[in-house]
Amino acid sequence: MMGQINTDGSPLSMQEWNQKVGLRHLDRIKELFKKDPDEEFEQRLESLSKGKTKGIIYYAAGIKKDSHERKFRELEYHERKAVRKAALDLWVDLNSIPKDLL
């Protein structure tokens, strides 16, 4: 197994250096858990609202047209789940088209 190299120039023992690297890694993992996945998804989805993409995703999720103006967080739990599934399904379908056909 290849180990990481002590690049900061400090005279640490291997154990101290491994602890330092491990603590930095844990800090990055903790930052991931602080993020709200609904908030990030909503930001991405709302950035699509200028075009028709958000409407297509909502339509594919079975959301009625009169609700297409609602923000992601305003949807019911089952609707949010359907929107996530529809976005994933559309992404998979679109990526299955060979690029040379586009």
Residue ranges with strand state E in 28-93? none
Q: At what angle do helices 77-95 and 37-47 cross, to 10 degrees?
A: 60
d(CA 11, CA 100): 55
* Least trusted range by pLDDT, from 6-10, 39-43, 59-63, 82-86: 6-10
Per-residue model confidence (pLDDT) at position 3: 54
Any idea what DSSP says for residue 4?
Answer: P
Question: What was the pLDDT predicted at 54?
Answer: 87
More confident residue, 88 or 11: 88
Q: What is the rounded distance in angstroms from the CA atom of residue 50 to the CA atom of residue 14?
A: 53
Q: How far apart are CA 99 and CA 102, in angstroms?
A: 5
Q: pLDDT tens digits, residue range 45-100?
A: 888 766 688 889 999 999 998 888 888 889 999 999 999 999 999 999 999 999 88
With 90 as the cut, is the pLDDT of residue 13 above it? no
